[in-house]
Amino acid sequence: MVTDKRPTSELTADLSKALQELRKTEETLVARKADESAARHAATNALNDHNAAQKCVDELVEQLRDTRHGDWASRRMIPARLGHCSGEASE
């Protein structure tokens, strides 16, 4: 495909516009990567908090089981342990 040569002034003007667009998209990309990093950090913190709360529940349930009386002595899975917050969890 043969095209007519464009004038240098037109090429440099188009190059300038393209470079400006590239700068804008790079700024957006860097900002989104920072957002992604912050979101991953927040998700990790939330998971750590959830795991700490689950560990506390597990320890308290285990202490109740150690009393060896009533329903707490059984080793059924509790809904929170199964990832459910309702009584619909299988036992």
Q: What is the pLDDT along the chain (91 residues), one digit of tens a residue?
A: 556 789 999 999 999 999 999 999 999 999 999 999 999 999 999 999 999 999 999 998 888 877 666 666 666 655 555 555 544 444 3
Asked if 81 and 87 touch (Cβ cutoff 8 Å), the reply is no
| Token code pair at residue 5 | 């040569």
Closest of 83, 85, 78 to residue 62, by C-alpha? 78
Rounded to whole angstroms, the Cα distance separating 56 from 64 reads 12
Closest of 82, 62, 81 to residue 72, by C-alpha? 62
The one-letter amino acid code at 44 reads: T
